[in-house]
A and B are shown apart, each in its own frame.
Chain A
Amino acid sequence: MTPRVDVVVPGGFGGPWDARAGEFITVIDLEGEQTGDFVAFVTADPDEWLSPVHCREALQNLFVHAGDRLVSNRRRPILEVVADDVGVHDATIPACDPTRYAVEFGVPGHRNCFENLFNAVHGRGVDARRFPEPLNLFQNTPVVGDGRIGLTDPVSRPGERIVLRALVDLFGALSPCPQDIIPGNGLRPSPMRVVVGVAAHLDGAE
């Protein structure tokens, strides 16, 4: 069955997606080792969004896994992880933004996930001052000795994917992270593909 949405988002840029209740959202790391910052808003009320901080409370875990139901900032399940080739994702790191590069790396003007994500959903009732933390697909931030954040690259290989099912009508954005200074994307931002449709997009044979 032909998917309703099928887009390739270039590495370091952002792209929108939308999904009706019951549809499957498949995010594919086309070349491997790429983090995809992902935000989702409830179409009927964009003040309700996928909330990693509330997911941590509901799941009692830093990370998300296949079978998990992901909740909104109103503690309502809005997405379900249906299938996952990789099993390593991050729900703790805020999107890289202009200050991440300007303040912490001394590089103002760098492309960043916050602007990628916001620009992709601009005009849909989303306020930059009330923007959610992202779920970072494939991002690899292990807990290492004494509670430090491990800084390393994703373990995803080319073509690996995560499949989510929308439990309500949603729209959102994906930003294959432009971070090319520290580990996170193998120092080389690369494209990702988003497929939305009524069938789970589980094989790469199309």
Chain B
Amino acid sequence: MPLLMTDPSPGPLPPEADVLIPGGASAVVSVLRGQLLSVENPEGGQVASLFAWVQAEPDEWLSPHHTRVFGGTFHLRMGTRLVTNRRRPMYVVGRDSLRRHDLLLPASDATVLAIAEALHVAQIEVQRVPDPVNLFLHADLFESGRIEVHPCPARLGERWTARALIDGFVAVAAGPSGIALASADPPRSIRVRVTNRVEDLPVDLQVLGTVSTG
């Protein structure tokens, strides 16, 4: 395991991955405990819909709704623990060059279909495509409850990276967000990397400005 354990387990580190998802498509990758999951905007302007399931128990999945309650916040931030529908931390946000993401909005029908197809190809059976974590989706939230969606501000090379705490499989879609203005039209590519060492990731873009929540 890539984490610094008191008693390091012998044997090779888990396999890494580097997948370029064309605009409109989706992909499934395995991410094991201790690995880094990195989602990147090679062209800019693209929302990435992130879904994940626990490898040993596909009825347990990454839940944006339980993540909000677990953290006591409507937002996804540095250090946020993304939890499953059984309230177990599955990923922790460790690097984030954009700092604007969404935990409130649904996936588009096209994205749900693309994810179901990618899971079918990977021969993974799940009962439900849950609601997504919408990386790079910029939605301001106001105290009135109003949600104001803006065009995706992701720059070329914008990157979000999280440490995995539970063995799982991740599905990422570079689909249309289905929400007016929120993502590139037509959809652009998304790159997903699974690495064991943070040194193997490029240096992040500089974070711009302060983050406002409206």
Contact = CB atoms under 8 A, between A and B. Distances in A.
B198 to A, nearest CB: 28
Interface stretch (B20-28, B68-76, B160-168): B68-76
Interface stretch (B7-15, B39-47, B143-151): B143-151
Given A57-B105, A100-B87, A129-B128, A94 B73 contact: no
A181 interface: no
20 contacts: A53-B104, A56-B104, A56-B147, A57-B106, A60-B147, A61-B144, A61-B146, A61-B147, A62-B145, A62-B146, A92-B68, A94-B65, A94-B85, A127-B127, A129-B59, A129-B127, A130-B127, A143-B142, A147-B74, A148-B72
B213 A63 contact: no
B141 interface: yes
Contacts of B179: 57
Interface residues of A, dominant DSSP: mixed
Interface string B127-154: 1100100000000011111111100000
B74 A92 contact: yes
Interface of A: 51, 53-54, 56-57, 60-63, 73, 92-94, 99-100, 103-104, 127, 129-130, 133, 142-144, 146-149, 151
Contacts of B74: 62, 92, 143, 147-149
Interface residues of B, dominant DSSP: loop
Contact of A149 (B69, B127, B128, B147): B69
Contacts of A54: 106
Given A60-B146, A149-B74, A99 B128 contact: no
B66 interface: yes
Nearest to A88: B145
Task: For chain B, give the interface size range.
Answer: 20 to 34
A98 B88 CA distance: 13
Contact of A53 (B72, B131, B144, B178): B131
Contacts of B149: 60
Contact of A92 (B65, B86, B148): B65
A56 B69 contact: no
A180 B29 CA distance: 41
Contacts of B88: 99, 103
Interface in B43-90: 59, 63, 65-66, 68-70, 72-75, 85-88
The residue among B87, B128, B178 with the most chain A CB atoms within 10 A of its own CB is: B87
A87 B146 CA distance: 15
B105 A147 contact: no
**For the complex of A and B, 5 pairs with smallest distance between CB atoms:** A62-B145, A147-B213, A129-B127, A63-B145, A147-B75
Contacts of B73: 146-149
Nearest to B214: A147
A26 to B, nearest CB: 24
Nearest to A95: B65
B68 A149 contact: yes
Contact of A94 (B66, B141, B144, B178): B66
A60 B140 CA distance: 11
B69 A94 contact: yes
Given A53-B106, A56-B104, A133 B65 contact: yes
Contacts of A151: 72
Nearest to A143: B143
B180 to A, nearest CB: 10
Given A92-B65, A94-B65, 13 more contacts: A56-B147, A57-B106, A57-B178, A60-B148, A61-B146, A61-B147, A62-B147, A94-B85, A103-B88, A147-B141, A147-B213, A149-B69, A149-B74
A61 B87 contact: no
